[in-house]
Structure 1
Amino acid sequence: MDLVAIVGSLVGAGVVLGGIAMGTGLRVVEQFERGLVFRFGRVRGVRDPGLRLLIPFVDRMRKVPMRIVTMPVPAQEGITRDNVTVRVDAVVYFRVVDPVQAVVEVQDYVFAVAQVAQTSLRSIIGKSELDDLLSNREQLNKGLELMIDSPALAWGIHIDRVEIKDVALPEALKRSMSRQAEAERERRARIITAEGELQASQKLADAGATMAAAPAALQLRLLQTVVEVAAERNSTLILPFPVELLRFLERAAPAPEAGQPPIDRTEPS
């Protein structure tokens, strides 16, 4: 009986120890992670998401997130190619595509990407002009993405997108640009006004030439002006009566019939 009890105790202890060992060897890998397994310091493989069993006290797992990381780049101060001091900040979107390289090739891939992004942003500032930083950001974003992605590929990192967020200018430069824009708008306004006056003068010259060729048109224009003035509520209307209109009416009057004395148009004494 004593031997049976001892054997049962040993079996129970073995089962308990086996359960504990198996419990210590179980790992859960999330959907957005990959498990990197090390055995005696060497990489033995990459585990996909799910419940994974490791050799207790032998294997060690390091989980690497595979989601896109949004990393803001602190504002960097630099001098542009046209000698303007600016402060530019950006944001970098990247993700891990090879967890083995991300863990083995670089000590801290997030810190490494941050340092490369800062140095690349300073380089972009020095190579660009102020107008490019303000209006041609799409091209600069592509160039900055290529500069960061080149060393990151060796670390198993893929740069999805890089965007320049803001360009801070000195206050004196802002005032100068505001005055320049105001002067440009004033110049355009004067050009438009001058072009309008030129077109109006050309039309008036054409109208004057037409009326000079046809005197009746001038009389019709005068009558039209009378109609427009009479439409307003004026009690008194003073209108000069041109001699040309009298001559026009005299020519338009019918000739006297035969046997009637001509009309005396002389003024009475």
Structure 2
Amino acid sequence: MFQREVIIKDTHRGLYYRDGVLVKILGAGRYQLPPTFNLGFWRRPKVEIVLVDVRERDLTIKGQEILTADKVAVRVSIVVQFRVTDPRAALHEVDSYQDRLYTDVQLAARRSLANMALEEILTNRNQLSEDILRDVQEVASRYGIAILRADVKDLVFPGNLQEIMNRVLAAERMSQAQLVEARTKAEVQQIDARAKAEAQHIEAQAKAEAQRCEMEARVAVTRRTAEVEAEVQQIKTLADIQALREREQSAQAYLNHPALLRLQELETLRELAKTANARIYLNMDRNGGATHAQGDRD
């Protein structure tokens, strides 16, 4: 009798049975099984290795029709990702761990949906996944299964309800679009108002600055005009003073030298004589003497 050879991959584990009794769990590797024979008075124990897949796998629960809390029939499909963590429990605790997992997820989904209204299902689909994980994880661990993920794959409603929901969704999308449009218009108007206010503020500042500059220019011109007028007046005053001083000097010279005054009078008379219409007025004192001669020209 030849020995049998069994190769276990990393993706599996092997349950080693001797005469139907589980002896050990084998990991990946090559194993030699002793031949089996029976001589009547002596026989070799029968050895058997059962392989269990320990990879992550998907289990799909399709088309479960369930009534919600508000008595609406929905059809739901759920996908569950699981892995065998205890090969001995997976084979010994239940007849078929995949069938048992299917039933447990199905019942958990029914319990969860029965306590949820339709609106709650639509707005919070994650709640169903959370309920399934919470209800099934502990139960599945008893027969060696770890639930990694449970999600709602499909959620189908009755035909008339589906149509109504489509209309509701379309109305919601329309209202959202209108809301976005209204918000956009409001933001544009707000930006426009801010821009206009800023422009008016800048214009007002520019006008105020221009008025300030104009006022400063006027003040400067007025100040400079006053300074120039004061300088002109000062020059005129100095000129008048100078003229008075010169007249005073002339008068003093005529006083000191009467002959110069007589020469000035004679020069005046000669100028008057050149004009035919010139007239001479003489002031006579009480003694009949001429004290002053005055002439004019017509």
TM range (shorter): 0.5 to 0.7
1:214-225 equivalences in 2 (<5 Å): none
Does residue 49 in structure 1 map to residue 5 in structure 2?
no
1:77-92 equivalences in 2 (<5 Å): 77-92=65-80
Do the aligned partners of 1:134 and 1:167 also contact (CA within 8 Å) in 2? no
Q: What is residue 104 of structure 1 aligned with on the other side?
A: 92
Cα distance between partner residues in 2 of 1:40 and 1:156? 24
TM-score in terms of structure 2 length:
0.53
Do the aligned partners of 1:74 and 1:89 also contact (CA within 8 Å) in 2? yes
1:189-213 C-alpha deviation (Å, 9 max, x unpaired)? 59959x97xx99xx9xxxxxxxxxx
Q: Which has the higher contact order (CA 8 A, sep 6+)?
A: 1
Does residue 145 in structure 1 map to residue 133 in structure 2?
yes
Distance change in 2, residues 1:27/1:180 (3 Å): closer
Q: What is residue 123 of structure 2 aligned with on the other side?
A: 135
Partner SS, residue 107 of structure 1: coil
Q: What is residue 39 of structure 1 aligned with on the other side?
A: 18
Cα distance between partner residues in 1 of 2:18 and 2:176? 76
Partner SS, residue 62 of structure 1: strand
Do the aligned partners of 1:74 and 1:118 also contact (CA within 8 Å) in 2? no
Distance change in 2, residues 1:168/1:62 (3 Å): same
Q: What is residue 176 of structure 1 aligned with on the other side?
A: 164
Consecutive unaligned residues of structure 2, counting only runs of 5 or more, are 37-44, 194-298
The Cα of 1:171 is off from its aligned counterpart by 2.1
1:174-227 C-alpha deviation (Å, 9 max, x unpaired)? 33334445556469959959x97xx99xx9xxxxxxxxxxxxxxxxxxxxxxxx
The Cα of 1:108 is off from its aligned counterpart by 0.9
1:1-269 equivalences in 2 (<5 Å): 17=1, 20=2, 23-24=3-4, 26-57=5-36, 58=45, 59-181=47-169, 185=174, 189=178, 192=182
- The amino acid across from 1:152 in the alignment is A
TM-score in terms of structure 1 length:
0.59
Consecutive unaligned residues of structure 1, counting only runs of 5 or more, are 1-16, 204-269
Distance change in 2, residues 1:40/1:86 (3 Å): same
Cα distance between partner residues in 1 of 2:169 and 2:51? 55
Cα distance between partner residues in 1 of 2:63 and 2:176? 37
Partner SS, residue 64 of structure 1: strand
Partner SS, residue 95 of structure 2: coil
**Percentage of matched positions with identical amino acids:** 29
- The amino acid across from 1:123 in the alignment is R
Do the aligned partners of 1:77 and 1:85 also contact (CA within 8 Å) in 2? yes
The Cα of 1:78 is off from its aligned counterpart by 1.4
